[in-house]
């Protein structure tokens, strides 16, 4: 909380206090940049894309630049690990398998192999029978293929966020303000005046990282992003064989109607119901048009599809989930544009001092993305090439 009522001038204001906002504040503080993080709810809440306690760290991607980004993120995870006794990454490997002809939201197995080869990342190819024998799956079509990449891990996402939050609390350069939704952004010359119910704050730079609530902020700057919203479901299946363990995995399959039937899963981990295996659909039946439509209740049909897949293709698990959860995520409507990272569009005054991160699955990049956003804010460019993520005129709409 603020220690001085008059101390309201900052070098950078970060709007959005989830994983990406806290990671950005962490890196800004390392550069002695006086930083304010504004969170519309309470910190460590379950209302946005930082909900839940586990995520996947994996290197396979169909694009070489995404593979490189995942590789480059590894030392940043190692550095963040030095700040906590809790294990942030449980290294169990990543298994991609399924129909080699299928293209999904995650990409394609063959394209991932090419990208891994180009980046000299090691992996092992597998037949369907080898996948069944090594990783506890069953009844897979003979045509399925797979790859196993040993650096994949389960992320203790709750511990990651707590570590970043605690670093912000300790830092003399970071102020954390919760229950502070931004209601207005005005410009006074080259300074931004950001208003919340708790008052108005002044900064030279803005970093906008509110996850699925990004439009509620950038609308104040007279533009918006074309996006859709998924209220993603997860299910936890109790182990019938306590010794069984899975890697992190993703299966590529043909579609159910128009929604696809890709699934992904996690091993049992000590921080998240270790006697259960979490499996989730990588599709939604009813996308949302606004984050306000989000509920904490998973779609029952999505859970039914997931339970059916587990019953037919996984061993050592009860076929009916006992626990469920949801997570809200914003996704770009632009093909092959998973992450959107850029400055505000040129028609926004002072746009080069406004950094926007929006849309996509990026938990695996958390400590690295904070560094990228910090470099964009303070230096005007990042050492990692963000060209594939830039927003551009076509990805914005003025309002």
- Largest Cα–Cα distance in the chain? 69
> Structurally, how many domains does the chain consist of?
2
Q: Report the pLDDT value the prediction gives residue 205, as an integer from 0 to 100.
A: 98
Find the distance separating the first CA and the last CA of the chain, reported in whole Å: 34
- Per-residue model confidence as pLDDT tens digits over 313-371: 999 999 999 999 999 999 888 766 678 999 999 989 999 999 999 888 899 999 999 99
Q: Report the pLDDT value the prediction gives residue 1, as an integer from 0 to 100.
A: 44
For residues 193 and 308, state if they share a domain.
Answer: no
- Is 60 a domain residue? no
For residues 242 and 320, state if they share a domain.
Answer: yes
For residues 253 and 287, state if they share a domain.
Answer: yes
- The residue that leads in pLDDT, 340 or 35, is 35
Residues 27, 367: Cα–Cα separation, whole Å: 8
| Residue 148 near residue 3 (C-beta atoms within 8 A) | no
Beta strand pairing call for 94-98 and 248-252: parallel
- Is 82 a domain residue? no
Q: Report the pLDDT value the prediction gives residue 394, as an integer from 0 to 100.
A: 58
- Is 56 a domain residue? no
- Per-residue model confidence as pLDDT tens digits over 367-399: 999 999 999 999 999 999 999 998 765 556 677
- Is 177 a domain residue? yes
Treating both helix axes as pointing N-terminal to C-terminal, what angle do 109-118 and 64-81 enclose, rounded to 10 degrees? 70
The average confidence (pLDDT) of the chain is 93
Contacts 24+ apart (CB under 8 A), 115-119: 115/60, 115/61, 115/62, 115/63, 115/64, 115/66, 115/67, 116/59, 116/60, 116/67, 116/147, 116/149, 118/64, 118/67, 119/64, 119/67, 119/68, 119/71
For residues 240 and 302, state if they share a domain.
Answer: yes
To which residue do tokens 């300790």 refer? 170
For residues 166 and 185, state if they share a domain.
Answer: yes
Cα–Cα distances in angstroms (integers) from residue 116 to residues 99, 112, 146, 256, in the given order: 19, 6, 13, 29
- Is 318 a domain residue? yes
- Of 290, 314, 332, the domain-final residue: 332
To which residue do tokens 């993520």 refer? 389
The CATH number linked to 365 is 3.50.50.60
Question: Residue 31: enclosing H or E segment and its boundaries?
Answer: none
Kindly report the number of other CB atoms within 10 A of residue 240's CB atom: 11
Please determine, for residue 257, whether its predicted confidence score (pLDDT) is greater than 70.
no
For residues 114 and 174, state if they share a domain.
Answer: no
Residues 264, 392: Cα–Cα separation, whole Å: 32
Instruction: Give residue 295's domain range.
Output: 94-150+227-332
- Is 99 a domain residue? yes
The CATH number linked to 307 is 3.30.9.10
Task: Starting at the earlier edge strand, list the strands of the sheet with 153-156.
Answer: 54-57, 153-156, 89-91
- Per-residue model confidence as pLDDT tens digits over 135-164: 999 999 999 999 999 999 999 999 999 999
For residues 301 and 259, state if they share a domain.
Answer: yes
- Of 284, 300, 332, the domain-final residue: 332
- Per-residue model confidence as pLDDT tens digits over 160-187: 999 999 999 999 999 999 999 999 999 9
Candidates 398, 329, 397, 389; CA nearest to 355 is 389
Segment 11-36 shows an average pLDDT of 98
- Per-residue model confidence as pLDDT tens digits over 282-325: 999 999 999 999 888 999 999 999 999 999 999 999 999 999 99
Segment 36-49 shows an average pLDDT of 94
What is the sign, positive or negative, of the torsion defined by CA atoms of 373, 375, 378, 380?
Answer: negative
Length of the chain: 399
- Of 286, 304, 332, the domain-final residue: 332
Most confident by average pLDDT, 10-19, 99-108, 334-343? 10-19
In eight-state DSSP terms, residue 384 is S
For residues 140 and 214, state if they share a domain.
Answer: no
To which residue do tokens 């079509």 refer? 141
- The torsion angles phi and psi of 248, rounded to 5 degrees, stand at -75, 145
For residues 207 and 354, state if they share a domain.
Answer: yes
pTM, two decimal places: 0.95
Residues 110, 380: Cα–Cα separation, whole Å: 36
Q: Report the pLDDT value the prediction gives residue 255, as an integer from 0 to 100.
A: 58
Q: Report the pLDDT value the prediction gives residue 3, as an integer from 0 to 100.
A: 43
Question: Residue 77: enclosing H or E segment and its boundaries?
Answer: helix 64-81
- Is 3 a domain residue? no
For residues 178 and 287, state if they share a domain.
Answer: no
For residues 291 and 307, state if they share a domain.
Answer: yes
- Is 266 a domain residue? yes
Q: How far is CA 371 from the centre of its chain?
A: 15
Q: Is residue 241 classed as helix, strand or coil in its secondary structure? A: coil
For residues 174 and 233, state if they share a domain.
Answer: no
| Residue 185 near residue 221 (C-beta atoms within 8 A) | yes
């Amino acid at each position: 909380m603020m220690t001085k009522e008059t101390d309201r001038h900052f070098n950078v204001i970060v709007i959005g206090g989830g994983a990406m906002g806290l990671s950005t504040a962490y890196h800004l503080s390392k550069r002695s940049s006086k930083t304010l993080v504004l969170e519309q709810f309470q910190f460590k809440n379950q209302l946005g894309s930082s909900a839940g306690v586990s995520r996947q760290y994996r290197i396979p991607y169909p694009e070489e630049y995404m593979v490189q980004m995942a590789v480059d993120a590894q030392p940043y995870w190692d550095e963040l690990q030095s700040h906590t006794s809790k294990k942030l990454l449980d290294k169990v490997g990543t298994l991609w398998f399924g129909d080699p002809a299928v293209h999904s939201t995650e990409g394609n197995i063959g394209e991932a192999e090419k990208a891994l080869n180009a980046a000299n990342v090691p992996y092992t190819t597998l037949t369907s029978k080898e996948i069944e024998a090594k990783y506890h799956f069953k009844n897979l079509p003979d045509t399925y293929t797979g790859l196993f990449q040993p650096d994949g891990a389960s992320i203790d996402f709750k511990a990651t966020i707590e570590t970043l939050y605690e670093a912000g609390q300790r830092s003399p350069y970071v102020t954390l303000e919760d229950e502070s939704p931004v209601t207005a952004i005005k410009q006074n010359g080259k300074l931004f005046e950001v208003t919340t119910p708790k008052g108005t704050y002044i900064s030279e730079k803005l970093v906008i990282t509110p996850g699925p609530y990004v439009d509620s902020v950038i609308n104040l700057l007279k533009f918006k992003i074309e996006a859709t919203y998924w209220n993603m479901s997860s299910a936890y299946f109790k182990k019938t064989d306590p010794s069984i363990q899975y890697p992190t995995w993703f299966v590529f399959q043909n579609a159910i109607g128009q929604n696809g039937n890709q699934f992904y899963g996690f091993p049992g981990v000590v921080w998240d119901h270790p006697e259960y295996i979490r499996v989730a659909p990588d599709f939604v039946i009813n996308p949302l048009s606004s984050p306000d439509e989000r509920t904490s209740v998973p779609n029952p049909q999505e859970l039914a599809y997931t339970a059916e897949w587990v019953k037919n293709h996984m061993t050592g698990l009860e076929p009916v989930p006992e626990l469920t959860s949801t997570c809200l995520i914003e996704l770009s409507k632009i093909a092959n544009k998973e992450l959107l990272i850029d400055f505000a569009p040129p028609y926004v005054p002072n746009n080069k001092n406004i950094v926007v991160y929006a849309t996509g699955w990026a938990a695996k990049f958390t400590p690295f993305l904070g560094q990228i956003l910090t470099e964009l804010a303070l230096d005007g460019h990042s050492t990692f090439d963000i060209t594939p993520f830039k927003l551009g005129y076509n990805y914005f709409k003025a309002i």
